[in-house]
Structure 1
Amino acid sequence: MSRPRHIAIVGGTGLLGSPVVEAFLRKRDVFDLTLITRSTSTHKPPSHVTTVIVDALDDVSESSPLVQALRDQDVLISTLNSAVAVKLEPRLVEAAIQAGVTRFMPSEYTFDVTHATARELGEGNLIGERVSWADRLSEIAAEGSITYTALVTGSFLDWGLKGGMCGFDLAHQEAVLYDKGKHAATGCTVEFVANAIVASLLLPDDETRNRRIYVAEVEYSGLEVLEICQQVTGNEWKVSDVSVQSVLEKGRQLQAQGNLRGAYLNYAVALNFNGCGAVDLKTGLDFGRTLGLQRQSLESIIRHAIGDVTETRRESPSRE
């Protein structure tokens, strides 16, 4: 495939989709962008982006608005929420093949779902669905009708820090260290992932065709994050130690109770902090360097996250 020009995005108004759209707009001289959105979407797409509104993303008939919207597109990028992606992406790929799209990029911006430890946790839950879809997409590409590129990014570190997903309550200066915070992991800011998606389409085709590519902005451990948080705030934080094994057990309990979302969140935390390698994507630290892809330091990411949380609390004082 020669360098693609025409890029279509599904899910372009969400957490990742919005910065991905902006990243492509900064490359208007290289890419033409089309945003495909459902008519039922409650998120308004940017007025300055070419947008096609369709009634359904699972109608793959030849005359469907989705297939028609994909005609003459080179690449279809999904930035859908993961739970939605595993349901809709198989149909999106069918539509892309119908329309003659040559490359599909799935919404797999997370831990490596094909890692052995992730596969073991995937029985009857979202992880298992993601594993099955990753395997199936590889099989579809092997049939020759379309190619794929999957960017495996680890955690969204800035979003996770601000939302408490990484075990750090920035507002109350409290931290949970999993297995004493000793294990290394890698992660990215949302902005870095957006820029990495664009960068992947600037690389030679043989470096990205039918490949799962590790992407990492920084490497960190829970203990390193705690030390920087305390340095930035100038305070000693309240720290709790939790074993990864107990997190896994909690996930299994929630799954047995039918709380699949809760189970998934616990499994994701365990994979991030157990040192198994599913989120320690060291080779990704070199991704995009030849293209000048800029990385923030861990300290910079944490400073910005703490600053954003502090500003939010200042604007919306707690009633506690």
Structure 2
Amino acid sequence: MTSTVLVAGATGDLGHRIVRELLTADPGISLRVLTRPGSGTADGMYADEERVAVHEAAYADHAALVAALSGADVVVSALSGARSVIVDAQRALLSAAVEAGVRRFIPSDYSADYRRITPGSNRNFDLRRDVAAELDAAPLRVTSVLNGAFTDMLTGQAPMILFRRRRVLFWSSPDQTLDFTTKDDVARVVALTALDDTAPRVIEVAGDSVTARDIAHTLTDLTGTPFSTQWAGTTGMLSGMARIGRRVSRDEDATFPAWQGMQYFVSMFSGEAELRHTDNDRYGTHRWTSVRDVLAAHLGGAPA
């Protein structure tokens, strides 16, 4: 049976990748992307793809959302933002999905395991947990995809690796397991989950699970120059710094301000957000992109 899948947030970095994977996974798929009225971005991005239909609706316009979702089997949310997006926009999307008779919903989680973290220790995880409570009460099937942190962050916005100083920072323990998955691998899992009517409430995957010590060894091997781990404090100290940063900042509505990055490292290095039930083989054999692959590409060499 051909599925009709609607992707919200399809013009974003992850959303665009999910659309690409859906088109690859099922040649007969009927695919819709949801965009805000007047944006024009989705029209330009998918102008050459006949299998993608662009539907416009504001999240504050319930009737328009219901019309856009009517006839869809699955809604995939790839929305990214703070409370106004993760909670408010997804709440509106969920309400419209229920009224439109959508059978399944995949929320914009795509993170480490937020279910066991200490309340108040990670804003973005708290937002996801708030939405999860409403999803669990909704009369449709929900599947969350949990994947640890995006591997891509190791070479970008997360200052864990100090390449010039040849150091890998850690908090509390250099041997705490950290879960990472690339955005492309996450997009593949989300697409296959959208096409899987038997998908459970939560699917956990990890493209790689490594420690700070492992990362230092990998960088030493890739560069031929010794990298070492460096203690940056305890997770308790980092949590305190995050609280202060949040209190004095003016970026509460930013998706990933500096203090939120600190909170993410607290969740990972404390072990609270570690994935415990990964199922990487659920959708068959796949070559997952490793931390080594990502670091090698960043350094200009081929994956070893």
TM-score, length-scaled by structure 2: 0.85
The residue number in structure 1 matching 2:131 is 133
The residue number in structure 1 matching 2:148 is 154
What SS does the aligned partner of 1:296 have?
A: coil
Change (3 A) 1:17 1:173: farther
The answer to whether the aligner puts 1:247 opposite 2:238 as a matched pair is yes
For residue 274 of structure 1, the aligned residue among 241, 254, 270 is 270
Contact kept? 2:106, 2:194, Cα under 8 Å: no
Structure 1 letter corresponding to 2:144: A
The residue number in structure 1 matching 2:54 is 52
Q: CA deviation at 1:227?
A: 1.1
| In 2, Cα distance between equivalents of 1:248 and 1:271 | 9
Deviations 1:27-72 (A, max 9, x none): 24252211111135474422234232425123112xx2x3222111
The answer to whether the aligner puts 1:72 opposite 2:66 as a matched pair is no
Q: CA deviation at 1:256?
A: 2.9
Change (3 A) 1:293 1:166: farther
What aligned pairs does 1:34-53 form with structure 2 within 5 A after superposition? Answer: 34-41=32-39, 43=41, 44-49=44-49, 50-53=52-55
The answer to whether the aligner puts 1:230 opposite 2:220 as a matched pair is yes
Contact kept? 1:180, 1:223, Cα under 8 Å: no
What SS does the aligned partner of 2:215 have?
A: helix
Contact kept? 1:196, 1:288, Cα under 8 Å: no
What aligned pairs does 1:106-185 form with structure 2 within 5 A after superposition? Answer: 106-115=107-116, 117-121=117-121, 125-140=123-138, 144=139, 146-157=140-151, 159-165=152-158, 167-170=160-163, 173-185=166-178
Q: CA deviation at 1:297?
A: 3.4
Structure 2 letter corresponding to 1:106: P
Structure 2 letter corresponding to 1:19: R
| In 2, Cα distance between equivalents of 1:90 and 1:220 | 35
Change (3 A) 1:94 1:283: same
Change (3 A) 1:290 1:36: closer
Q: CA deviation at 1:114?
A: 1.4
What SS does the aligned partner of 2:287 have?
A: coil
Deviations 1:125-150 (A, max 9, x none): 4433322111121122xxx2x22111
The residue number in structure 2 matching 1:315 is none
Change (3 A) 1:38 1:302: same
| In 1, Cα distance between equivalents of 2:61 and 2:164 | 45
What SS does the aligned partner of 2:19 have?
A: helix
| In 1, Cα distance between equivalents of 2:281 and 2:39 | 33
Change (3 A) 1:75 1:290: closer
What SS does the aligned partner of 1:187 have?
A: strand
Change (3 A) 1:185 1:166: farther
Structure 2 letter corresponding to 1:222: A
| In 2, Cα distance between equivalents of 1:5 and 1:77 | 12
| In 1, Cα distance between equivalents of 2:129 and 2:239 | 18
> Which range moved further: 217-226 or 42-51?
42-51
How many residue pairs get aligned? The number is 289
Question: Unpaired segments of 5 or more residues in structure 2?
Answer: none
Change (3 A) 1:179 1:4: farther
Contact kept? 1:17, 1:79, Cα under 8 Å: yes
Structure 2 letter corresponding to 1:178: W
| In 2, Cα distance between equivalents of 1:273 and 1:237 | 20
For residue 281 of structure 2, the aligned residue among 281, 284, 288 is 288
| In 2, Cα distance between equivalents of 1:150 and 1:197 | 9
Question: Unpaired segments of 5 or more residues in structure 1?
Answer: 309-320
Change (3 A) 1:290 1:148: closer
Structure 2 letter corresponding to 1:223: R
For residue 291 of structure 2, the aligned residue among 292, 298, 303 is 298
What SS does the aligned partner of 1:193 have?
A: helix
